[in-house]
Amino acid sequence: MEDTHESCRTEGGAGCGCGSMSSHEHCGCGHMASHGHHGCGEGHHSHSVTRMYKRAYMDALYQAQVERLRKRIDTKFGPTLDKMADAVAESFGKMWESKMAKMEARQELEAKLRRILSETTKT
C-alpha cells in the first residue's frame, strides 16, 4: 500500500504515518529520514517531545526577559506612562462620547424623517 499525503518517506523508501498531522515537519519523519532512520516508532515521539520542550523553553525565556524589562521600564518611566495613559483614556473617552452623541442625533433624525414620510403617505 502506498503512503498518501498524510505520511512521509524515509531514504530507504519506508513510510511513516503521521496520522492526523498535516505537516511532515510536525511528523518528525523528515528529520529522521535525513539521519537514516527508517521508522517512526519511539524516535518519532521523542523527537516531537524534544521539539515541544525546546519551544516551551524558548517561550519561557522570552517571557522572563519581558518581565525583567517590564519592571525596569515601570521603575524608570512608570509615572510618565501613567500620565500618558490618563491622557489617552480621557481623550478617547471624549471621542467615544462624541461618537455616541453623533449616533443618537443621526437616529433621532432618521426617526423624524420616518414620521414625516409616514404622515405624507397617509394623506
Please tell me the predicted confidence (pLDDT) of residue 45: 83
Q: Parse the chain into domains and list their residue ranges.
A: 40-122
- The answer to whether residues 61 and 55 touch, using CB atoms and an 8 Å cutoff, is no
Q: Is residue 112 within 8 Å of 104, Cβ to Cβ?
A: no
**CA of 58: how far to CAs of 4, 38, 66, 69, 81, in Å?**
34, 30, 12, 17, 29
Q: Residue 59 and residue 39: Cα distance in Å, rounded?
A: 30
Give the DSSP letter of residue 13. Answer: S
Report, as an integer, the average pLDDT of 54-71: 98
- The one-letter amino acid code at 5 reads H
C-alpha cell at 41: 516508532
What is the structure's pLDDT at 106? 97
- Return the percentage of the chain with pLDDT > 70, whole number: 64
Per-residue pLDDT, 46? 86
